[in-house]
Amino acid sequence: MSDLLKKFQNLKVRENKKSLKIGVIAGGVSSEREISLLTGKNIYDSLLRSGYNAVFIDPVDDFFKRLKEVNIAFLALHGKYGEDGTIQGLLEFAGIPYTGSGILGSAIAINKILSKKIFQCENILTPDYIEVELKNGLELSELKKLLDKKTGYPVIVKPNTEGSTIGVSIVDNDSQLESAVNEALKYDNRILIEKYIKGRELTVSIIGNEPIALPIIEIKPKSGFYDYEAKYTSGMTEYVVPAELDDKLTGYILETAVKCHKALQCKSISRVDFILDNYNNAYVFELNTMPGMTETSLVPKAAKAAGISFDLLVEIILDLASLKV
């Protein structure tokens, strides 16, 4: 039995919780709806296997009526209204315990620009960036001058509050910039333009209210870019877990991930994404408060490497559910 597994044995859900009705909330109306449905279905099936009284709730179907019937909400609602503090606020008001981070942590973490500002204040290494907000039009000539001054090329252009690499483009020169900006602006009126760091892509999953880091995963997409297809298509990406790093670097990355989780006031579960450059500088570029739980998802892979089965992982997350006022 792994040391991490031993730490979580005492968190396993008590039998009396099996008499409660667990509402798995997934789907919704965000651009990540389809992935949310897959995540929710996996969690729902797991709860049934473990003997829980679970129901599947899609917020587009009589949501408020069905919500009144549940004792605990297991959130699997990716993207807008699910990861941004909206559903968390509703559940707080209704007095229903729920999984994952609270209102503040959710709202901060989904905002990539705000997260990066906090990382900088906490002396956590993150790529240089500029922020762009669409108001009365966008002057590309001014944006290009700003890029020359602050980041240079290549850069990654992202919507500020989207996940699953939706609306994201890698830009190598001025001629590609306008189309990348327009693509990102389809999803958000604020965008993040971030210095592209070439290196190894790593991720660290965090679980527990006294946060514990699971083994580091190295992500090796066969296409060279970990985009939507590479994330959710089986066989498109190779995963190395635990990542092949020396002990000192491993310890530093794990400590940094926990520091990020705490800095953004996250609870219960998160995933912190890094790029490790050729000089072993570990840049944090994002934290996700509601990681996927599909067959290709990263948190279950990290948990498995620590000796934690998918069903036990679901129970651990459920046991951490509480009001997050």
Cβ–Cβ under 8 Å, residues 192 and 131: yes
* Confidence band for 325, pLDDT divided at 50, 70 and 90: very low
* pLDDT over 90 at 222, yes or no: no
Cβ–Cβ under 8 Å, residues 97 and 73: yes
Catalytic residues, by residue number, are: 32, 164, 232, 271, 273, 286, 288, 292
Q: Mean per-residue pLDDT for 201-223? A: 91
Q: What is the pTM of this model?
A: 0.89
Nearest to 287 by CA among 155, 89, 91, 118: 118
Q: How many CB atoms lie within 10 A of CB 6?
A: 10
- As a whole number of angstroms, the longest Cα–Cα distance in the chain is 63
* Confidence band for 132, pLDDT divided at 50, 70 and 90: confident
Residue 111 CA to residue 92 CA, distance in Å, equals 21
Among 95-99, 209-213, 296-300, top mean pLDDT goes to 95-99
Phi and psi (nearest 5°) for 113? -65, -45
Paired tokens of 140: 């590309």
Q: Mean per-residue pLDDT for 128-143? A: 77
All structural domains of the chain = 3-100 (3.40.50.20), 108-125+198-319 (3.30.470.20), 129-195 (3.30.1490.20)
What is the per-residue pLDDT across 293-307, written as a single tens digit (0 to 9) for each?
Answer: 987 789 999 999 999
Cβ–Cβ under 8 Å, residues 172 and 180: no
Cβ–Cβ under 8 Å, residues 204 and 259: no
